Amino acid sequence: MTWLDRAIGFFSPSWEYRRTAWREAVRSFYDAGSKDRLNAGWVPFNATAEQTDSPQRDVVRARARDLERNSDIAEGIIGPLERNVAGTGIKVQAKVKKPDGSDDEEINKQIEDIWEDWCKPRNCDVTGQQAFWEMQDMAIRRLEVDGGIIFIKTYTPGGPVPFSLQAREVDELDTSFNQLPGLGKNRIYGGIELDEHNKPLAYHLKKFTADGFWTGQSERIEAQRVLFLWKKTRPTQIREMSPLAKTVPRVRDVNEFVEAVSVKERILACLSVFITKQTPSSAIGRGLNGGKTDKQSGYQQQTISPGMIKELQPGESVSAVTPSGQATSAKDFISTQQRLAGSGQGLSYEAVSRDMSQVNYSSARQGLLEDQRTYGMWQQFLIDHFCQEVYTEFVISAVLAGQLKIPNFWQDKRRYLKHVWIPPGWSWIDPQKEVSANAKALETGQTTLAQICAEAGKDWREVLEQRAREIKTAKDLGIDLTGGGKNAGTQQTGNGANATEDISRPGKSS
């Protein structure tokens, strides 16, 4: 109650009551929804995703690309995602099974051999320039910077399979078709032809010359041939938005701050010398004695060399001017901004800055686990929306081309398309602690060998098969690697009991 209410209540209690009741009725029950003076300038409005994104989509993308090219801080965010999500590639393993449930090793090996050959640049890329793992890396980079990337399934002769991929940028979607009717009841928005449920039916892509100029023409490509990778965050969203949108202003501010500090430090490092003359000479002929003349002031300029000895004329004195001020410590500001920028992308400060000076084992491991969850979500997205689609098209193309001899493929297609993807694993922070924890968890039934191997980017069957081959070869040579004895293995390898014990632990393979 304000002093005005009390004054009104003195003369008219009913009027005061009505004012208080009205104030309570319109009072905001959420601070975030308050319209007081603190939030007076914060007036957002609700709109669909495309109404929000489309006016600024191209500007945000252009600014994100500019930071990608020129900002090391932005690269510190993009790089960890690129290295840890795809890295050297997400590997595939065919898992075709026989009717009795056992693995059909013959067909699996046949598929994997052809797949390995197809993943080479000359086969999987229509331009012959990128291997399949490089396409995965580029997809992650463009998803983070541009918000999306397009791959077109192309069918060309040559190679082990007449199927390859053509990478296209989201800029190539022809937005000039917006609001124009498509085929039948379809409508076109953002270069995408949609049905009444906003399901993409076709994509309209611009045609460009080799040097990057639009010819003014576009081509319509059926949706079944297009892999449009982008993350949908709202039901009304039709096209992509760069995930860096929330981070771009902060990274830009840090870059400008670093530039300002750099200029200040350069100024503080300067030394100026002034020569005072008791009897100044005439201005006529100034600068004719070998020095340069400043065009703005007309005074002669001279330079100082290290170790220089110069005689002054009678009546001349020298005074040095050193800029005052203390160097600014930008470390705290930059580290705080990097921490915020990284957290906005789901990454820790250590991941985006590579600065491990402020962490111990526990905090580093906790940060790494959170980062791995972020990487894992990106990996699953890439597998579901890109890798599986490519693998399915690859197997079908190989069967049609006669490269895979599967007589009943079309009758039991799902069984022959079974496969799993193995993302790249991550190294341990402290191998001794991690191995001990894994061994204890495996012993107590809290985890499985398959899970431990998957975290390391390995297949548990391959690990066991490799260990079996190693143990058999060692046994033939009279070396015990099973951990049952330390005599032969320790003596002949010369590595000691600890080394023999480590090599026999689960999850290790050559």
Work out the average pLDDT over 417-425.
Answer: 90
List CB contacts of 140: < 8 A, sequence separation 6 or more.
Answer: 81, 82, 85, 86, 378, 382
Q: Does residue 39 lie in a domain region?
A: no
pLDDT tier, 313 (very low <50, low <70, confident <90, very high otherwise): confident
Note every long-range contact of 299-306, with CB atoms under 8 Å and residues 24 or more positions apart, other chains counting.
304/271, 304/273
Helices 13-26 and 3-11: crossing angle in degrees, nearest 10, is 140
Task: Please identify which residue in the block is written with the tokens 């890439």.
Answer: 382
* pLDDT, position 506: 38
List CB contacts of 334: < 8 A, sequence separation 6 or more.
Answer: 254, 257, 258
| 3-class secondary structure per residue, 119-136 | CCHHHHECCCCCCHHHHH
| Burial zone of 310 (CB within 10 Å; 0-12 exposed, 13-18 middle, 19+ buried) | exposed
Q: What is the pLDDT of residues 443-452, one digit of tens each?
A: 888 888 888 8
Q: Does residue 494 lie in a domain region?
A: yes
Q: Does residue 83 lie in a domain region?
A: no
State phi, psi for 173 to the nearest 5 degrees: -65, 125
Could you tell me the two tokens for 70? 């020129």
Work out the average pLDDT over 80-109.
Answer: 90
pLDDT at 327 over 80: no
Work out the average pLDDT over 291-301.
Answer: 66
Total structural domains within the chain: 2
* pLDDT, position 456: 75
| Residue in 498, 477, 456 with CA at minimum distance from that of residue 506 | 456
Work out the average pLDDT over 358-377.
Answer: 86
pLDDT tier, 133 (very low <50, low <70, confident <90, very high otherwise): very high
Side chain identity at residue 191, one-letter code: G
pLDDT tier, 202 (very low <50, low <70, confident <90, very high otherwise): very high
Locate all alpha helices (DSSP H) within 354-459, ordered by sequence. 361-382, 388-400, 413-416, 431-443, 449-455
* pLDDT, position 25: 62
Are the beta carbons of 89 and 132 closer than 8 angstroms?
Answer: yes
CA distance 177 to 187: 9
Q: Does residue 59 lie in a domain region?
A: no
Q: Does residue 399 lie in a domain region?
A: no
Q: What is the pLDDT of residues 345-360, one digit of tens each?
A: 999 988 898 888 888 8
Are the beta carbons of 479 and 485 closer than 8 angstroms?
Answer: no
Strands 300-301, 292-293: pairing kind: antiparallel
Q: Does residue 139 lie in a domain region?
A: no
Q: Does residue 504 lie in a domain region?
A: yes
List CB contacts of 116: < 8 A, sequence separation 6 or more.
Answer: none
Locate all alpha helices (DSSP H) within 326-360, ordered by sequence. 331-344, 349-353
Could you tell me the two tokens for 61? 């993308």
Share of the chain above pLDDT 90, in %: 40
Q: What is the pLDDT of residues 450-461, one digit of tens each?
A: 888 877 777 777
Note every long-range contact of 478-482, with CB atoms under 8 Å and residues 24 or more positions apart, other chains counting.
none
pTM of the model: 0.76
Q: H or E element: which one contains 208? A: strand 200-208
Helices (H) and strands (E) in the chain, counts: 19, 13
Angle at 343 between CA 339 and CA 346, to 5 degrees: 145
Q: Look up the domain containing 503 and give its range.
A: 428-510
CA atoms within 13 Å, Cβ hemisphere of 348? 19
Angle at 118 between CA 117 and CA 124, to 5 degrees: 145
CA distance 147 to 60: 10
Mean pLDDT of the chain: 82
Q: Is 135 helix (H, G, I), strand (E, B) or coil?
A: helix
Q: What is the pLDDT of residues 209-261, one digit of tens each?
A: 888 888 888 999 999 999 999 999 999 999 999 999 999 999 999 999 888 88
* pLDDT, position 496: 36
Task: Please identify which residue in the block is written with the tokens 């079309």.
Answer: 410
* pLDDT, position 311: 72
| Residue in 200, 203, 216 with CA at minimum distance from that of residue 150 | 203
Work out the average pLDDT over 161-177.
Answer: 93
pLDDT tier, 183 (very low <50, low <70, confident <90, very high otherwise): low
The dihedral sign for the CA sequence 136, 142, 145, 146: negative
Q: H or E element: which one contains 161? A: none
CA distance 267 to 264: 5
Q: Does residue 386 lie in a domain region?
A: no
Are the beta carbons of 374 and 144 closer than 8 angstroms?
Answer: no
pLDDT tier, 497 (very low <50, low <70, confident <90, very high otherwise): very low
CA distance 479 to 292: 83
Lowest mean pLDDT among 142-156, 325-339, 375-389, 415-429: 325-339
Strands 91-94, 419-422: pairing kind: antiparallel
Work out the average pLDDT over 138-148.
Answer: 96
CB atoms within 10 A of CB 14: 9
CA distance 93 to 109: 9
| Residue in 330, 347, 316 with CA at minimum distance from that of residue 259 | 330
pLDDT tier, 284 (very low <50, low <70, confident <90, very high otherwise): very low
Angle at 331 between CA 327 and CA 334, to 5 degrees: 120
